[in-house]
Amino acid sequence: MAVDPDPPSHGQHLATVSHDGRFWDVYLEFEDDPRRPDSYRALLAYSPADRNEGEETIRTIAVIIEPSYEEAIRRARQLEDHQLVAFLRSLLPD
């Protein structure tokens, strides 16, 4: 089995959603903020499941900010498909 040399994300896979005829894998990625060491900040990364060569993963800004890693994961897992699709739609060109 071939391994993708450039995975779409090193984050935790949250879901796969459908939008506009494509399937998108959604990942949760944490970012470090040295100004806020008391919080865990995470963004959503979207990669089309049928990713074409040169097509890059698109990312939101940090949309989850929680006091612990576990709470951030729990909050992300509470997002419903329609919410994940709404974030994706906000990232795509019109």
Q: Which residues lie across from 64 on neighbouring strands?
A: 42
Query: Is residue 25 within 8 Å of 59, Cβ to Cβ?
Result: no
Predicted TM-score (pTM) of the model is 0.87
Q: What is the pLDDT of residues 32-70, one digit of tens each?
A: 877 777 899 999 999 999 988 888 999 999 999 999 999
Residue with tokens 């006091």: 67
pLDDT per residue as tens digits for the range 81-90: 999 999 999 9
Closest CA to 63 of 54, 52, 72: 72
Query: Given this model, what pLDDT does residue 2 score?
Result: 47
